[in-house]
Amino acid sequence: AQKITQTQPGMFVQEKEAVTLDCTYDTSDPSYGLFWYKQPSSGEMIFLIYQGSYDQQNATEGRYSLNFQKARKSANLVISASQLGDSAMYFCAMREGGGRGSTLGRLYFGRGTQLTVWP
Amino acid sequence: KAGVTQTPRYLIKTRGQQVTLSCSPISGHRSVSWYQQTPGQGLQFLFEYFSETQRNKGNFPGRFSGRQFSNSRSEMNVSTLELGDSALYLCASSLSAKTDTQYFGPGTRLTVL
């Protein structure tokens, strides 16, 4: 089974509007971390936001917030006030085991969502 | 603070050759992970190193190998290149024990002809 599922191959949003990118995950480990990365056409993966499985509140980083629904195993990324520079591929990823302080370095990635912001 | 650097950025090789890719982590980071990204398979984990020891390995053939040096810099090597090895190879670094976040470099784009 896929560890991370991103069901939206592509999304379109108008500038200044909010957009939600979906991510569901599958793990039996009670301790895990969820990440979102942005990959522009240049190829570099840019870290956006992190949510730990034991975190009580949804993570926020500037215009990015993570809608964490543990029972549903979903970790959707919300981008508020989209900008043209937000156009990129967005990846959801998960790391199992240990949460913060884990020594395991493996990330499982979804297939990504290509976001296009139009003026 | 400088980010993760990878060299070379682009590489063209022919089948059967071998290649070595280099990654310098963020200063103070002791863990380095490698990933392969292809259109068909997406992002796949290769291996992770911490304090010169391989701690975790993905499902890749033995032609893929790596190592980490005492200064945390890492190299990965692919021997007997195949056309299917054409990919973007991404390196990521993280602190050892107090953070889960991996920061990525710009990648090395390998083309095998």
Cβ(A82)–Cβ(A16) below 8 Å = yes
Q: List CB contacts (< 8 A) between B103 and chain A.
A: 47
Q: Chain B residues with CB inside 8 Å of A103's CB?
A: 31, 50, 55, 96-97
Q: How far apart are CA A107 and CA B92, in angstroms?
A: 10
The number of helix segments (H) and strand segments (E) in chain A equals 0, 12
Cα–Cα distance, B65 to B53 (Å, whole number):
12
Comparing A54-58, A65-69, A80-84, A85-89, the range with the smallest average pLDDT is A54-58
Pairing of strands B87-94, B108-112: antiparallel
pLDDT higher at A48 or A33 = A48
Q: Tell me whether B95 touches chain A (CB under 8 Å).
A: no
Contacts within 8 Å (CB) and 24+ apart, B79-83: B79/B18, B80/B16, B80/B18, B81/B13, B81/B14, B81/B15, B81/B16, B81/B17, B81/B18, B81/B19, B81/B112, B82/B15, B82/B112, B83/B15, B83/B112, B83/B113
Taking CB atoms and an 8 Å limit, are B33 and A95 in contact across chains?
no
pLDDT in tens, B59-90: 999 999 999 999 999 999 999 999 999 999 99
Per-residue confidence (pLDDT) for residue B64, from 0 to 100: 98
Residue A98: pLDDT above 70? no
pLDDT in tens, B1-39: 689 999 999 999 999 999 999 999 999 999 999 999 999
**In B, which residues are within 8 Å of A37 by CB distance?**
104
- Interchain CB contact of B60 with A (< 8 Å): no
**Nearest residue in chain B measured CA to CA from A50:** B101
List of chain B residues whose C-beta atoms are within 8 Å of the C-beta of residue A101: 97-98
> Which chain A residue is nearest to residue B6, measuring alpha carbons?
A44
Mutating which of A3, A29, A44, A109 best tests the B interface, going by the most B Cβ atoms within 10 A?
A: A44
What six digits make up the tokens of B53?
């020891």
pLDDT at A101: 46
For chain A, how many residues are written? Answer: 119
Put residue B45 in one of left, alpha, beta given phi > 0 → left and psi -120 to 50 → alpha.
Answer: beta
